[in-house]
Amino acid sequence: MIELSWTYFFQIVNILILYLVLRHYLYKPVNDFIARRREYTEGLLNEAKESYARAKELQEQAEAQLNEARREAQALIEQAVDQGKKMAAEIIEEARSEEAVRRERFQREMEEAKNRAIQELRQEVARLSVKVAEKILEQNLTPQAHQQLIENVLERMDDLYVN
């Protein structure tokens, strides 16, 4: 059978004491160190996650601001285009108004020139009539020659007024 000796018993006691000493001075500090290291790495991981979340949020804000800036720029461009169109329309309208004023002035000037020409023609007709009358008075005309002279004068007057 198995013999139990005191050496076995001391070896078992020594192993138990060694276990307790190692547990107290080695396992516990190593486990505490590992636990602290785990907490530290978890803290770093949580900080990294928070930093990532903040960075993501900042990126979204930056994108939103960029989109807003693009919308504002587009609105400014559209506003500038609208103003350009309005200015072009105003310039065209002003040109049309000026053209209408020039046309009216030209028509007035033409009417005045026409009236002056008619007045000059009337004066010329009157002068010619006086000359014709002088010639008639210088000559003794028969009634037929007198009638012929009147018709010639009237034809000349018609030609002058019509043309």
Q: Where do the structural domains in the chain lie, given as residue ranges? A: 7-162
**pTM of the full predicted structure?**
0.43
How far, in Å, CA of 101 to CA of 79, rounded? 32
pLDDT per 10-residue tile (average), the chain, 163 residues: 76 93 89 94 96 96 96 96 95 94 94 88 77 71 74 74 62
**pLDDT for res 161:** 65
Q: Report pLDDT digits (tens) over 123-138.
A: 887 777 777 777 767 6
How far, in Å, CA of 100 to CA of 106, rounded? 10
**pLDDT for res 147:** 76
**pLDDT for res 140:** 66
**pLDDT for res 81:** 95
**pLDDT for res 159:** 73
